[in-house]
Amino acid sequence: MTAPRYQGVFPVVPTTFREDGSLDLASQKRCVDFMIDAGSHGLAILANFSEQFLIADDERELLTRTVLEHVAGRVPVIVTTTHFSTKVCAERSRRAQDMGAAMVMVMPPYHGATFRVGEPQVHAFYAGVSDAISIPIMVQDAPAAGTPMSAAFLARMAQEIEHLSYFKIETAGAASKLRELIRLGGDAIEGPWDGEEAITLIPDLDAGATGAMTGGGYPDGIRQIMDPYVAGKRDEAIAQYTRWLPLINYENRQAGFLAAKALMLEGGVIDCDLPRSPWPAMHPEVRKGLLETARRLDPLVLRWGR
């Protein structure tokens, strides 16, 4: 593989709301500052863990501009621009690039539970987005899209589509898929990345992953796994992975995308951790278990705003 432009820990920035559901941009900026202070190599915005499916188009523009201007080049920012329409996705991606995005992340085109297209249309979709921009595209290969994409198909797109070179693999058997993607794609695969809140981080790193897009609540904890691994200290990385795994598991299997905001509220980073309706708020017992698990690890998030 070629030397990647972007690697390391790029957690997803949650979108912060007030109790009435309106955007809270002051909390949003503090959230970004915390995540940078906690050691994030870069950030990702407007992803599924940012509740992108609950955000209006004009709010997407406002959030993108607000975050990129506030980050002010401190770290690279990946902007999610997923849409079913090639035209809309290309236009979103071009605007994100114009505002300073380092990369765009795009799921294959889908809508609801049944609207899908085949491989020729998926290929044409990503080619159309690539033609509109000059920054890298990350393919988000996630079950939410309901669009199976083989390692061979992903590798072919990387070889044939100019700016498509990063892959966030979140499907079952991610490590095997990453390994096969790297084998088939060669130098066209600039960034094979781990996802799913780092629940499979060590196997994915063993398979050749160079980046991790996790939840935003404890980048310092993920760095404690990634840094020794990259330095060739695999045993130390495994020990840290074992240490942080209960919290990773709690986020991945219990609290979901609300975990980061619950941790940030507890640590005084943000003012409200509610999602937007109709998504339900976190159950009090889930919150209790999440915070109990986090306190045993003392992540920066619980101290940053206090």
Interatomic CA distance for residues 89 and 87, integer angstroms: 6
Interatomic CA distance for residues 96 and 235, integer angstroms: 40
Interatomic CA distance for residues 221 and 215, integer angstroms: 11
Interatomic CA distance for residues 44 and 194, integer angstroms: 14
261 a catalytic residue: no
Residue tagged active-site, from 168, 177, 261, 288: 168
Contact residues for 118 (Cβ-Cβ < 8 A; gap 6+)? none
Interatomic CA distance for residues 176 and 275, integer angstroms: 34
Q: Nearest-CA neighbor of 272 among 13, 21, 55?
A: 21
Dump strand ranges (E) for 154-250.
Answer: 164-169, 191-194, 211-212
Interatomic CA distance for residues 245 and 249, integer angstroms: 6
| 157 annotated as belonging to a binding site for a ligand | no
Residues annotated within a binding site for pyruvate: 213
Catalytic residue positions? 168
- Binding residues, as ranges, are 213
